[in-house]
Amino acid sequence: MYKRARKKCNLSIEEAAFRLNISSRTLINYESGDTTPSPDIALAMSRLYKQPFLTQIYCKECCGIGKAYSYSVLDNVNMSIESVLLSLQEEAVEAMEVLPDMLRLIRNKKSRYDFADSDWRWFIKGLQEWLDLEHNIECLKISFNRFADMEKLIQEHNAKCIARHYSLISR
């Protein structure tokens, strides 16, 4: 994937390695899969190659937390901003349709064991609608990176949350 992204950007091994501040041999090892880049290098490649999905793939394949919690990379769907927004709109409608029943089902529950089995199955089905929506939001962030610097926008959002005391983490 790294080699394909580099070639799409019309960069030679030497030029890309120079810009990444690594040796050509190291970059060759990353591209061949012999070595896994550090998160910082994966991020740098993503920026240099203007391929934001590289970080998503990296997290999904190389990070224990990402393996558990990252969504599949949708590389066989139309990722144009228009298509992603239309899909997002559809998923938002579906998620909002299940919300009233989810709220009704969760009322006065403290754990999974407070649910009847049929209610639990329905609640999980409703939750899947919300996960579909979240996955579409991840696609939107990747797609929108073609128009704006999502890293900067997310940093600004995080700063706003910290300023409003929504987050105690001030990194």
Sign of CA dihedral 151, 152, 158, 161: negative
Per-residue model confidence (pLDDT) at position 83: 94
The pLDDT assigned to 146 comes to 81
Residue indicated by tokens 């240099």: 48
Tokens of 54: 């590289």
Q: Tell whether the model's pLDDT for residue 171 goes beyond 60.
A: no
pLDDT value at position 169? Answer: 72
DSSP assignment, residue 92? H
- Contact predicate 60/54, CB 8 Å: no
Report the predicted TM-score, pTM, of the whole model to 2 decimal places. 0.81
Q: Are 44 and 111 in contact (CB under 8 A)?
A: no
Local confidence band at 170 (pLDDT 50, 70, 90 cut-offs)? low
Instruction: Reply yes or no on whether the pLDDT at 168 is more than 80.
Output: no
